[in-house]
Amino acid sequence: MAFSPSRHFPVSGGDINRALVLEDGERRFFVKVNRAGLLPMFEAEAEGLAELAATGAVRAPAVVAVGSDDDSAWLVLEYVELQPLREPAAGRLGEALARLHAVAQPFFGWHRNNTIGTTPQPNPREHDWPAFFRRYRLEHQLSLAERNGYGGHLQSLGQQLIECIPEFFTSYTPQPSLLHGDLWGGNAAMDEDARPWLYDPAVYYGDRESDLAMTELFGGFGPAFRAAYEAEWPLDPDYCVRRDLYQLYHVLNHLNLFGGSWAGSAKRLMERLLAEAAG
């Protein structure tokens, strides 16, 4: 059905893209816009949203269109009236996330690369999770950080930690779970019926603990979320140790995207992890 918007207005909430709402008096769509060269980023996001929704475990906005012209790329999604996550939706999200993580495949990674923010996120097929996480998460981010001028002590700590990665998996072998991939509080909300929604994914198959670790990095999910998740699928007793490891990936990504104080946060996490490995 043809759509001719009669009104559009910008909306806030993201650091990466320009976001706006288009409407024609009857229908309304949410649109993300960026430079034309980032079309692959939007294409991967569209595939990620579709994969999340297809599980039936979680709600994700339906993709309407993705495309570009000479100047801009865009992603058009169904419009959902959302509000900050609170009870009982947070508990429902915990249950739904556990069901999402139960969706598995035989290998870690995904069928394509995508992005975390605008940072490239490689997702090649790998059957060894510690090797995947070492090479395609930490080593990748450390390499970008060095290219961005963050060398010295940060790189020294990083290389020491890379060598210690197997120490965190001596008695724990994760299965490849479908992950949201960027599950901070700004990427989850609820609708007017208190149903939880997820959006802005960085989908791949990995250790489910990495999604949980991200939910704790900036807060916003509440204790009922975690309790509901663990009622569905309890976490390993040593999760709290690997939580720092998985949060480090996102802290390094924030360093590469935004710079500033994130270097200090990354160093403190690495020092804590090295102390834990030395045991």
Residues 31-85 have pLDDT tens digits of 999 999 999 999 999 999 999 999 999 999 999 999 999 999 999 999 999 999 9
Burial class (CB in 10 A: 0-12, 13-18, 19+), 28: middle
pTM, entire model: 0.95
Residues 232-276 have pLDDT tens digits of 999 999 999 999 999 999 999 999 999 988 999 999 999 999 999
Q: Are 132 and 109 in contact (CB under 8 A)?
A: yes
Dist. CA 266–CA 217, nearest whole Å = 12
What angle separates helix 89-101 from helix 208-217, to the nearest 10 degrees? 150
Q: Catalytic: 182?
A: yes
Selected catalytic residue, list 70, 128, 182, 191: 182
Domains of the chain: 7-78 (3.30.200.20), 89-278 (3.90.1200.10)
The band of 3, judged by pLDDT with boundaries at 50, 70 and 90, is low
Q: Are 133 and 172 in contact (CB under 8 A)?
A: no
List the one residue out of 187, 209, 215 whose CA is nearest residue 59.
187
User: At 213, is the secondary structure helix, strand, or coil?
Assistant: helix
Residue with the larger pLDDT of the pair 7 and 213: 213
pLDDT of residue 6: 53
Residues 116-156 have pLDDT tens digits of 999 999 999 999 999 999 999 999 999 999 999 999 999 99
Q: Are 85 and 188 in contact (CB under 8 A)?
A: yes
Dist. CA 252–CA 116, nearest whole Å = 11
